[in-house]
């Protein structure tokens, strides 16, 4: 009897030995840590920048024209437009020169588009693509609604029947039109009773090759070459 009992225990011991060698149920491997996604830039425009317009180079585009502030004064150039983009990818599309970053915004200096044909060659003055202007670019401005001295985007039409005129884009979308005689001398501003500009005094002066046109407390500096071409 005892021998039979010992033999019957052998299969049980073997089964226990085999089960002891079985690995525990496999646990799923922990997911690899995800690398943080790099952000392309700030979500909104910082207060340190004077952001102008609703798109650059065209309305609705991602980048914006940037005016003069303490943070950008060293990046401004009369021969170029300073633009800001919230992402480096958008900045690269402008085709200008990246000059710096301010609070995460990439600043790009984009050479002004100006008409090359027609400056005295008898072929007529060319237009900047997509506009009625013969040239576009920033001019020095100040005083609109108490604004400090800075830069405003402007465009000039040189082939008007009565003489050239310059349209200045102000930060809130208002435009100032400044008229010149055919010889390039200052004529007047476009004014209206509705906005109160008709009651504002108008004057002009000269500083070197630049016309200083004033409307009330507003001041605009327009180089001769911008008005008449070179």
Domain contains 24: no
Residue 159 belongs to a domain? yes
Q: Specify if 174 maps to a domain.
A: yes
17 within some domain: no
**d(Cα 71, Cα 101) in Å, to the nearest integer?**
10
Tell me the CA distances in angstroms from 163 to 25, 35, 70, 118, 186, one per residue in order: 89, 61, 37, 16, 10
Those residues whose C-beta lies under 8 Å from the C-beta of residue 223, and which sit 6 or more positions away, are: 78, 139, 209, 210
- Residue 167 counted as domain residue: yes
Give a yes or no: residue 152 inside a domain. Answer: yes
The pLDDT value given to residue 61: 86
The pLDDT score that the predictor gives to residue 148 is: 93
- Nearest 5°: the CA angle 150, 155, 156 is 125
Span 59-106, pLDDT tens digits: 788 998 888 888 888 888 777 888 999 999 999 888 889 999 999 999
Q: Are residues 97 and 142 in the same domain?
A: no
Within 8 A by CB and 6+ apart from 22, the residues are none
Query: Residues in the chain with pLDDT < 70?
Result: 1-41, 113-125
Total-model pTM: 0.54
Residue 106 and residue 165 in one domain: no
Residues β-bridged to residue 175 = 169
Question: Domain for residue 202, yes or no?
Answer: yes
Mark whether 182 and 139 lie in a shared domain.
Answer: yes
In the chain, DSSP assigns E strands to 50-56, 63-67, 80-85, 97-102, 105-111, 135-142, 150-157, 165-169, 175-180, 186-189, 202-207, 210-215, 218-223
Beta strand 165-169 with 150-157 is antiparallel
Please check whether residues 139 and 90 belong to one and the same domain.
Answer: no
> Is position 172 within any domain?
yes
Considering the domain architecture, whether residues 157 and 222 belong to the same structural domain is answered as: yes
User: Which pLDDT belongs to residue 199?
Assistant: 96
Q: Is residue 223 exposed (0-12), middle (13-18) or buried (19+ Cβ within 10 Å)?
A: middle
Report how many helices (DSSP H) and strands (DSSP E) the chain contains, helices first: 3, 13
Given a contact cutoff of 8 angstroms between Cβ atoms, the answer to whether 155 and 135 are in contact is yes
Residues 140 and 224 in one domain: yes
Residue 101: the pLDDT is 92
Report how many domains make up the chain.
2
Domain range for 75: 50-111
């Amino acid at each position: 009897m005892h021998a039979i009992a010992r033999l019957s225990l052998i299969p049980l011991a073997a089964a226990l030995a085999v089960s002891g060698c079985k690995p525990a149920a496999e646990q799923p491997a922990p997911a690899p840590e995800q690398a943080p996604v790099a952000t392309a830039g700030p979500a909104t425009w910082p207060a340190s920048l004077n952001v102008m317009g609703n798109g650059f180079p065209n309305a609705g585009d991602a980048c914006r024209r940037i005016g003069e502030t303490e943070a950008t004064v060293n990046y401004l150039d009369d021969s170029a437009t300073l633009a800001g983009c919230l992402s480096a990818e958008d900045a690269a599309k402008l085709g200008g020169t990246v000059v710096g970053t301010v609070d995460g915004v990439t600043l790009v200096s984009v050479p002004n588009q100006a008409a090359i044909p027609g400056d005295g060659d008898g072929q007529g003055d060319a237009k900047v693509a997509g506009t009625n202007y013969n040239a576009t670019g920033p001019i020095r401005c100040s005083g609109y609604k108490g604004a400090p001295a800075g830069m405003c985007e402007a465009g000039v039409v040189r082939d008007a029947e009565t003489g050239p005129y310059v349209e200045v884009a102000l930060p809130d979308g208002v435009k100032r039109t400044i008229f010149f005689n055919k010889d390039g001398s200052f004529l007047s501003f476009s004014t209206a009773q509705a906005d109160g500009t008709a009651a504002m005094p108008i004057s002009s002066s000269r500083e070197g090759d630049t016309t200083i046109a004033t409307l009330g407390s507003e001041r605009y500096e327009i180089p001769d070459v911008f008005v008449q071409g070179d």
